Amino acid sequence: MSRIETDIMHGWEFTLKEPEDENFEGVQLPHDWAIHAPVNPNMKQGAAQGFRDRWGIGWYRRNLALEEIKEGTVYQLQFDGVYENSTVWVNGKEAGGRKYGYSRFTLDITEYIHEGDNQILVKVDNTSFPADRWYSGAGIYRTVKLLELNRNHLQPEEIQVKTAIHGDMGIVTITTGVSSSVKACLSDEHVRITGVSAQDGTIRVEIPSVKLWSPEQPHLYHVELALYEGSQIVDTYGLRIGVRDIQMKAGKGMYINGRRTKIKGFCIHQDAGCLGIAVRPEIWKDRLMAFKAMGCNAIRTAHHMPASELLDLCDELGLLVYEEPFDKWTGGSYRRYFATEWQADLECMVKRDRNHPCIFMWGVGNEVEYQGQASMLEILKMLKDHLLTLDDTRPVTYAMNPHFKYESNADLSQVKDIQQFVDEVSDTEIYDGDERVERIRRIAEIVDVISCNYQEQWYPAIHEAVPDKLILGTETYQFFRGHSDQMQNFSDEVPWMDVEKHDYVIGGMLWTGIDYLGESMGYPAKGWAGSLFWTNNERKPLSYLYESYWSEEPMVYLAVMDYSLQDEGVKEHWDTPRYASHWNFPQFNKTVIPYMIATNCEEVTVELGDKRMYVNKPSSYPNRMITGYLPYLPGTITVRGFIRGQEVCQYAVKTAGPAVRLGFDREELQLAAKAGYQKLFTVRAKDSEGTPVFRDSSKVTFHVSGPAVILAVDNGDLSSSESYDAHWMHMYRGCVSTVIRFTGEPGRVVLSAYSEGMHPAELVIHVI
C-alpha cells in the first residue's frame, strides 16, 4: 500500500475542566483557548501574554473511527505543534507527547487501536511559568494528521535533498534514508525525469535547462519518491524542491544564483491578532503577499520553528526564511527544557525543514544570557556543530543582543525577567567600544554570518575587526538608528541606510513586520504595536517608506503628522513619528502641518488644491524621505512621482465629510469551496463621495448568511478590550475587520456590515 495521510481537524471536543463527558464542547482545529480567555490586567506574566488569563490544563478528545485494521500497516498520529507540554492517550493507553510547544512530534499508535471507534485524548498542560516573552497561546493550534503506512516506509525526516548548478544543468541529490530500492520522479509543467537509488540510498537527477528558484522567480519542482519491495510499490512520498545556489562572499555580500541580493526582511511572531495562534495557512498567505507587495523578500520566524505550512508558502511565494528553534538557552522560558530537549528540538527543526528552498540561514538562538562569555561560546559551538551534522548546506548563526556584559555569577533560575536581565543597563554593562567588538569577534569565530540585533552604528568597527564575515541585521529598528557611543538615539538616521551603504551587510530584518499579541509595554496595550502593519493587515504609514527602499515599482505616498492620535503603547525606540494618511483637522485654520513623502521616483510634485508646492528631489533628503509643511486648507493634496521627466505614479489625500455609509474594499468575489477555509475582510467608513473617514470610530456589527460563519473581529487596536470572539467591534482609524470561516459547501455567502446612522455594506462571495 502507498501511504495515506489524512488531516483530522474536525470532530474534536475540548474542556478546561475535568475530562468528563458533560464538560466537553465541540471545537475545530486549529484551536487556541487562550485567545478566548478574559482580559485580566493583574494576571501573572500579563504583559508578556497579552493580559489574557490563559493559565490552566486543557483536554482535547476525538473519536477515530477505523473500518478495519489493515495487516502490515503502521498507524501514526502527527502533531505539528501543541502548546504546551502535551500527553496523548489512545484508548486509555499513553502513546507519548512533547514538552516544547513548537516542535512536531509523531506517535506510533498501531498497538493501541482496534477496528471501530477509538478515543484520542490529549492533555495540554499550560501551567509552567514563565511562558514565552511573547503571546504563546495554548492548545492544539497546528495541523494534526493520521498517517497509514506500510511497515516498510519512507521517513520524511531522514530524506535530504541537496542541489547544485553546473552551467544550465541542475543537479539534485536525494538521500532517501533507506537501503531499499527507491525511484524518484522529478517534474514540473515542462520536465519529467526519473532516477533510481544507488546502493548507498542516494539518487542523482540531472535537470537540463534548469529553472532556478529565487525570490523573484520561485520556481519549484515536484519530487515523487516510490519505495519498492521487489517489483511492488509499498510507499510514496512527495515534496517540492527548488534548485538554487546561495553564496556568501566576504566583503561583497550574498549572491543568489550569481546575483547579489540584499535581505529586505521582517521578523514575525506566529499569532494573527484576533485568531491568536490558531492560524490557517490562507490567513498567513494574505499577510505574506502584502509583505511581498511592498518589496519584502525575507522573514525571520522569531523565535521558534513555525508551522510547516508557512514554509510551504514561502517556497511558493519566493520569501527567504531565517529560521531558529528557540529563544534563550539556560534562561527564559526554554530553560526548563534546554538541558534535556535542545538536541531533539534542534533536530526537529532541521530535519523537518531542510528541504525547503526558502530557508537561507539557520539561527541557533537569540539574545541569550552571558553573551560573548566562555560558557555561552561553548554552548554556541555545541549547537552549531550538531546542526552541521544534520545540514551542511546553509550558514549557521546566532542573533546577538546589543548588550554585552562582564562576567557574573547570577543564578538564572532566580531571574524572573530574563530579557530585563539581558538588556538592563547596570554596572556590568560593557561600554568600551573596543571591548564590545572583541566580544563580537569571539562569537564571529564560531558563526558563519555575524547576526546583529540593533547594532548598525557599530557595523564599520565590527567589519574592521572581522573582515572575512558578512553582517546581517537580524533585528533593526524601523526609524531611529543608534549612535556609536550608545545603543539608542533619536536622530533621523534610518537603519536601512546602513544596509545600502555597506556591501558587507547582506540585509536587515525589521522588528517587526506586523503587530503581535503579548510583549506589551503596559496595560491597556495587549501587544506590540511597533510594526509596519496592524493586526488586521492594514498598512501603517512607515511601511510606504520601506516600500520606497525595497520596491522597483514606481510609487509615491504622503502622510501628515498627527499627534492627536492615541498612544498605542509602543516602546519608544521602536516607535516612529506619528504620521497618518488623512487630511482632516477641523481644529485648525491654516495651521501648518508637517508631512512626509515616500517615493522611489526621481522627482515629486505636491499640489494643495490648485496650488503647487515646490520640493527638492528625494535624493537631497536624509533617508530619501521628503519632509515639509502644508497649511491646513480642506480639500485634496495630490503628490505625483516622475522618472526621466515623465509622471509614473500619483497619490491623493482628500478631506472627508461626515461618514454616511460603510464599504468593503470590493463588492463581489469568488472562492473555491473548502471546509474550514478562512478569510479576513475589512469594512470602512466613507463619506457621500466615497472618501474614507479616517477619524470615524463607530460600532460596526457583522452578519453572514450562506455556508459560512463569523469567526472573529479585529480593528488593529491592541489597546482595546473589546472581545475578538464577537460579531461587533468599534472601528479604529476608520475601519474594522472580520474573519469568516466557510463550511466547504458551495453557495452564495453574503457578508453584511451595519452601523447606526450609516448605510450598510454588503459583500457577495460566490463559493463554488
Q: In this predicted model, what pLDDT tens digit does every residue of 349-368 receive, in sequence order?
A: 999 999 999 999 999 999 99
Q: Please tell me the predicted confidence (pLDDT) of residue 421.
A: 66
Q: Per the structure block, which three cell numbers stand in for 588?
A: 485648525
What does the chain come to in residues?
768
Does 334 share its domain with 435? yes
Q: Are 205 and 211 in contact (CB under 8 A)?
A: no
Residue 202's CB is within 10 A of a number of other CB atoms, namely 15
Does 214 share its domain with 335? no
Among residues 668, 252, 207, 216, the alpha carbon closest in space to that of 463 is found at: 252
Does 466 share its domain with 317? yes
Does 681 share its domain with 632? no
Residue 158's CB is within 10 A of a number of other CB atoms, namely 12
Q: CA–CA separation, 629 vs 99, rounded Å?
A: 56
**2 band by pLDDT with thresholds 50, 70 and 90:** confident
Q: Please tell me the predicted confidence (pLDDT) of residue 429.
A: 86
226, 241, 256 — which closes off a domain?
Answer: 241
CATH of the domain at 710: 2.60.40.10
Residue 33 lies in a domain: yes
pLDDT digits (tens, 9 = 90+) for 10-19: 999 999 999 9
Residue 549 lies in a domain: no
pLDDT digits (tens, 9 = 90+) for 303-338: 999 999 999 999 999 999 999 999 999 988 999 999
Q: Please tell me the predicted confidence (pLDDT) of residue 694.
A: 97
Q: Are 584 and 655 in contact (CB under 8 A)?
A: yes
Q: Structural domain of residue 616, as residue ranges?
A: 554-654
DSSP state of 273: G
Angle formed by the axes of helices 308-317 and 281-293, to 10°?
40
CATH of the domain at 336: 3.20.20.80
At position 545, the amino acid (one-letter code) is: L
Does 336 share its domain with 389? yes
Q: CA–CA separation, 660 vs 689, rounded Å?
A: 9
3-class DSSP state for residue 701?
A: strand
Query: Mean pLDDT, the chain, as a whole number?
Result: 95
- For the chain, how are helix, strand and coil distributed in percent, rounded to 5? 15, 40, 45
Among residues 306, 322, 297, the alpha carbon closest in space to that of 218 is found at: 297
**424 has a pLDDT exceeding 90:** no
Beta bridge partners of residue 78, listed in sequence order: 106, 145
**491 band by pLDDT with thresholds 50, 70 and 90:** confident
Residue 223 lies in a domain: yes
- Residues 6+ away with beta carbon under 8 Å from 718: 515, 517, 520, 525, 526, 527, 528, 529, 535, 568, 569
Place of cell 530579557: 419
Does 195 share its domain with 328? no
Among residues 473, 435, 438, 441, the alpha carbon closest in space to that of 457 is found at: 473
**427 has a pLDDT exceeding 80:** no
- Tell me how many degrees the CA angle 446-476-44 measures, rounded to the nearest 5: 95
Residue 194 lies in a domain: yes
Structural domain tally of the chain?
5
% of residues, the chain, pLDDT over 90: 92
**409 has a pLDDT exceeding 90:** no
Q: Please tell me the predicted confidence (pLDDT) of residue 105.
A: 98
Does 558 share its domain with 592? yes
Does 432 share its domain with 528? yes
pLDDT digits (tens, 9 = 90+) for 241-281: 999 999 999 999 999 999 999 999 999 999 999 999 999 99
Residue 545 lies in a domain: no
Does 317 share its domain with 428? yes
Tell me the helices (H) and strands (E) count for the chain, helix number first.
9, 49
- Which whole-number Å values give the CA distances from 749 to 11, 394, 668, 765, in the listed order? 24, 47, 10, 5
Does 385 share its domain with 520? yes
3-class DSSP state for residue 423?
A: helix
Q: Please tell me the predicted confidence (pLDDT) of residue 64.
A: 97
Q: CA–CA separation, 297 vs 283, rounded Å?
A: 18
**416 has a pLDDT exceeding 80:** no
Place of cell 538588556: 423
Residue 106 lies in a domain: yes
Q: Per the structure block, which three cell numbers stand in for 766?
A: 460566490
Residue 148 lies in a domain: no
Q: Which bin fits 178, alpha (ψ -120 to 50), beta or left (φ > 0)? A: beta
The radius of gyration computed from the CA coordinates of the chain, to the nearest angstrom, equals 27
221, 241, 261 — which closes off a domain?
Answer: 241
Higher pLDDT, 2 or 245: 245
Does 341 share its domain with 474? yes
- Which whole-number Å values give the CA distances from 143 to 8, 124, 139, 315, 736, in the listed order? 8, 15, 12, 19, 29
Q: Got the DSSP string for 738-758?
A: EEEEE-S--EEEEEEEE-TTS
Q: Which bin fits 367, alpha (ψ -120 to 50), beta or left (φ > 0)? A: left
184, 212, 241 — which closes off a domain?
Answer: 241
Q: CA–CA separation, 349 vs 346, rounded Å?
A: 5
**419 has a pLDDT exceeding 80:** no
Q: Which bin fits 727, alpha (ψ -120 to 50), beta or left (φ > 0)? A: alpha
**415 band by pLDDT with thresholds 50, 70 and 90:** low
- Work out whether the CA dihedral 694, 696, 699, 702 comes out positive or negative: negative
Does 204 share its domain with 262? no
**682 band by pLDDT with thresholds 50, 70 and 90:** very high
Residue 638 lies in a domain: yes
Place of cell 474536525: 10
**1 band by pLDDT with thresholds 50, 70 and 90:** low
3-class DSSP state for residue 469?
A: coil
Would you call 96 exposed, middle or buried from its count of C-beta atoms within 10 A (0-12, 13-18, 19+)? middle
Torsion of CA 217, 318, 360, 246, to 10 degrees: 10
Q: Please tell me the predicted confidence (pLDDT) of residue 412.
A: 64
* Range with the poorest average pLDDT among 68-72, 158-162, 360-364: 68-72
Task: Give the mean pLDDT of 416-426.
Answer: 66
**413 has a pLDDT exceeding 90:** no
Q: Per the structure block, which three cell numbers stand in for 358?
A: 526558502
Q: Per the structure block, which three cell numbers stand in for 482?
A: 543608534
Beta bridge partners of residue 60, listed in sequence order: 14, 122
Task: Give the mean pLDDT of 444-471.
Answer: 97
Q: Per the structure block, which three cell numbers stand in for 707?
A: 455556508
Q: CA–CA separation, 636 vs 654, rounded Å?
A: 4
Helices (H), 354-445: 374-390, 418-423, 433-444
Q: CA–CA separation, 366 vs 532, rounded Å?
A: 22
- Tell me how many degrees the CA angle 477-479-483 measures, rounded to the nearest 5: 75
Q: Per the structure block, which three cell numbers stand in for 292?
A: 511581498
Q: Please tell me the predicted confidence (pLDDT) of residue 622.
A: 87
Q: CA–CA separation, 463 vs 728, rounded Å?
A: 53
Residue 609's CB is within 10 A of a number of other CB atoms, namely 11
HSE toward the beta carbon, residue 37, CA cutoff 13 A: 27
- Tell me how many degrees the CA angle 73-79-84 measures, rounded to the nearest 5: 145
pLDDT digits (tens, 9 = 90+) for 717-765: 999 999 999 999 999 999 999 999 999 999 999 999 999 999 999 999 9
**414 band by pLDDT with thresholds 50, 70 and 90:** low
